[in-house]
Amino acid sequence: MTGRRKLAVGNWKMHGTRDSLGEIDALMQAHPAPRARIVLCLPATLLHAASIHAAPSSVWLGGQDCHAGIKGAHTGDISAGMLRDAGAGYVILGHSERRENHGETSEEVRAKARTAQAEGLVTIICVGESLAQREAANTLDIIGAQMDLSVPDTSTPENLIVAYEPIWAIGTGRIPSFEQIVEVHDFLRKDLAERFGDKVASGISLLYGGSVKPDNAATIFAAENVDGALVGGASLREADFTPIIHALESTVLPGDITG
């Protein structure tokens, strides 16, 4: 038993219009009572419609980013409270595509996370190294620094999930070796324990993300400190996501948090 919740989180990125809501129906039909939590982090434009579609639902919803402020003159931005109002319970923060494309720093990620947690969202904070950093054997230093700066002190097992996403594995079809995944996830657990204590750290779910597919999911989920996946491309279609969810559900043990 891990005592933690297992999560299959889909990240639709900038994909999907209302035509895509049928995939959510299909997902709910395929998983009426999932033992792992299924979360779809949708484009913000789809959240409200999806929340109507999905209710009452086996599928939880999330956003992909939010502003650090509660409200104000921030054209084009979305607040955590707005995401919650539209039906989200989760938000991805610090995804490498936002760190790269929008220059988001870890300090900004922490400020966003603090606000999102205060607004009642579960924050999925992403960390991960580039290929150059991995090749220079800097992976754990980079991830340690990202953790220190990105994770707010207000984090608890109820409001924090950490996703390890090696940048070079996202959308490439390449994944780290099993040993590399184990090494980083064990490091993350230890890092959280040093900061928050063993009890809190042992309750925080850790996800792996980057080219998770139906044919590699079971291997990835065999790592003790991998509690689920953050899935991009393979979450867009129910037919691809379902085998990943099944692989995760088969790792749920008595004593783990389900539902």
- CB nearer to ligand PGA: pick between 94 and 210: 210
Which residue from 108, 129, 165, 227 is in contact with ligand PGA, where contact means CB under 6 A? Answer: 165
Pair 41, 11: CB distance under 8 Å: yes
**Minimum gap (Å) between residue 48 Cβ and ligand PGA:** 23
**Minimum gap (Å) between residue 172 Cβ and ligand PGA:** 7
Which token pair is 113? 């996370």
Distance CA 84, CA 120 (A): 8
Give the interface segment with ligand PGA, choosing from 14-22, 115-123, 200-208, 224-232 (CB under 6 A): 224-232
Catalytic residue among 97, 108, 165, 238: 165
Distance CA 33, CA 135 (A): 42
95 assigned to active site: yes
Q: Does 210 participate in binding ligand PGA (rule CB under 6 A)? A: yes
Pair 167, 131: CB distance under 8 Å: yes
CA-CA-CA-CA torsion sign (75, 125, 177, 15): negative
CB-based closest residue to ligand PGA: 232
Which token pair is 228? 């689920």
Q: Compute how many residues bind ligand PGA; rule: CB under 6 A.
A: 13
67 assigned to active site: no
Which token pair is 17? 């219009």
- CB nearer to ligand PGA: pick between 8 and 212: 212
**Phi and psi angles of residue 5, each rounded to the nearest 5 degrees, phi first:** -90, 140
Pair 47, 16: CB distance under 8 Å: no
- CB nearer to ligand PGA: pick between 54 and 231: 231
Pair 118, 143: CB distance under 8 Å: no
Which residue from 7, 36, 88, 170 is in contact with ligand PGA, where contact means CB under 6 A? Answer: 170
**Under the rule (CB under 6 A), what is the footprint of ligand PGA?**
11, 165, 170-171, 209-212, 230-234
Residues involved in catalysis: 95, 165
